[in-house]
Amino acid sequence: MFRPLIVIRRIPNIDFMGMHKIGFALSALLTLGSIVLFLTHGLNYGIDFSGGTLIEARTQGPADLARMRGTLDGLGLGDISLQGFGGPADVLIRVARQPGGDQAQMQAVAKVKAALPQGVDYRRIEVVGPKVGGELIQAGVLATVLALVAIALYVWLRFEWPFGVGAMLSTLHDTITTIGLFSLLQIEFNLTTLAAILTIAGYSVNDTVVIYDRMRETLRKYKTMGFRELINKSLNETLSRTILTVSTTALAVLSLLIFGGEVLRGFSIAMLWGIVVGTYSSLFIAAPILYYIRPRRTSQAKEGGAAPAETQKAS
């Protein structure tokens, strides 16, 4: 007979609301700091956004990416990334955009060809200009904004508008602080990193919705309980699930960070940070903010069924 895995056998009694003002202050500091870093230091845009040359090559045998990367790094062409795809002999080479026009890009391609073995088959060569990179940045910003709006709209329709506001603020906090981290560490920001940010938004709202659902159930069950106690109770009751989710997801992302290689490094760092900050924002932003913009108890009671007249009067 299998027994369920229980991290916390007894529901704790942690006073999360007693720490929520500190959480708000820390979140405001992280958000403002991230915005300042982005405006002053900017991001280290990869080839996807800044432009460059894309070379699709096929070696005669299994590609030795480490050796090829070491050879190409010595050419002095700036940022060069290699990625395996398809079969073991297929390699995707990205070379940073060189100062100058198309002739400078072609000279960089010639250097790459001269440095690699003669048996390499170059199946595709494309030059990505700065205009295309700018369009990708605009599309990425639009995708992120639309994702945040869609998340807020979903939570609003699923619960009430105060829940939608809390979910949007916590998700926006996670997104901005992730961008701030990449600006601080100057890790390459590319399309893979953008995908990680959108994944973080989904992860954060998933954790938030679980807590909100428990809060809604508690609102129906304890119609006269104060909001402070109600929020603490809901957070403590979902804490075991939160710990399990964070632990299992972090293990998977750590595996990607350690064994995924350079290609997945930015994605893994963004995801690892997102797991930590997403859990933090669910506990100290999304839930406590309902203490100030409270959902209506009457609508929650109506959804949960008609309450006794005395209880409705007391609430």
CA angle 130, 132, 95 (to 5 degrees): 60
* Chain centroid to CA 307: 41
pLDDT of residue 312: 38
Instruction: Decide: helix, strand or coil at residue 284.
Output: helix
Residue 172, amino acid? L
Q: What is the DSSP string of 59-97?
A: -SSS--HHHHHHHHHTT--S-EEEEE-SSTTEEEEEEEP
Query: In this structure, is the dihedral angle defined by the CA atoms of residues 74, 78, 83 and 89, taken in order, positive or negative?
Result: negative
Distances (CA, A) of 113 to 46, 66, 68, 75, 117: 22, 17, 11, 11, 8
pLDDT of residue 304: 45
Residue-range domains of the chain with CATH: 17-42+133-304 (1.20.1640.10), 52-128 (3.30.70.3400)
Helix, strand, coil fractions of the chain, as percent rounded to 5: 65, 10, 25
Alpha carbon distance 299, 24 (integer Å): 28
Q: CB of 15 within 8 A of CB of 232?
A: yes
Q: Per-residue pLDDT for the chain (315 aa), expressed as one digit of tens each?
A: 445 455 556 777 788 888 889 989 999 999 999 999 999 988 888 777 777 788 888 888 788 788 888 888 888 787 787 877 767 888 888 887 777 777 788 888 888 888 888 888 888 887 777 666 677 778 878 888 888 788 778 878 887 888 888 888 888 899 899 999 999 988 888 888 888 888 888 888 888 888 888 888 888 888 778 888 888 888 888 888 888 888 888 898 898 888 876 667 888 888 899 899 988 988 898 889 888 887 766 545 444 444 443 333 333
The total of other beta-carbon atoms located within 10 Å of residue 313's CB is 8
